[in-house]
Amino acid sequence: MDTSVLVLNQNYEPLNITNVRRAVVLLCMGKAEVVKDDTGYIRSIEQSFRIPSVVRLVYFVKRPVPELKLSRKSVLARDDYTCQYCGEKGSNLTLDHIIPRDRGGKTEWENLACCCLKCNNKKANRTPQEARMQLCRPPRKPKYVPYISFPKFVAATRNDDFHEFLSPYVKSLEHR
């Protein structure tokens, strides 16, 4: 029952990732309809439901589009938890200021990259040019519209059922 369910606004804009229980409540209350489901059934005393994987609200929710906040988690998600210098994936990752902070490098999307500890030590207080290290791709602020938190969103794009609904919204993940 802890499967994720993607909640779409009436206009199919991604709104939220929730769990099956909460999605079923929306369906029971007539607030949402199933767009996609997996094969299972949930039995309740009176009814049985298909287990939804994507639901759509039957009414339009108007919410201000939140600003995408810069955070460690969001940068790691943008870079797919992969060192942008050597391509290593894993848990021993940190954030690299591409132009070091004490050399005037800012804490912004364009100056931060996911980096493994090894590369971080090797690069030390140098620019990539000085350290002769090259970034796999230019670091950009993701072009991102939905209301879901960015790391959650990136994880959700890997769900086959969600992919078609989410992929139009992230331009910077197109290289995948």
Q: Which residues are near Zn ion by CB under 5 A?
A: 83, 85-86, 88, 116, 119
What is the nearest approach in angstroms of Zn ion to the Cβ of residue 88? 5
Distance CA 70, CA 15 (A): 20
What is the nearest approach in angstroms of Zn ion to the Cβ of residue 80? 13
Q: Which is nearer to Zn ion, 65 or 86 (CB)?
A: 86
Q: Which is nearer to Zn ion, 33 or 88 (CB)?
A: 88
Q: Which is nearer to Zn ion, 85 or 153 (CB)?
A: 85
- The answer to whether the beta carbons of residues 91 and 121 sit under 8 Å apart is no
What is the nearest approach in angstroms of Zn ion to the Cβ of residue 144? 25
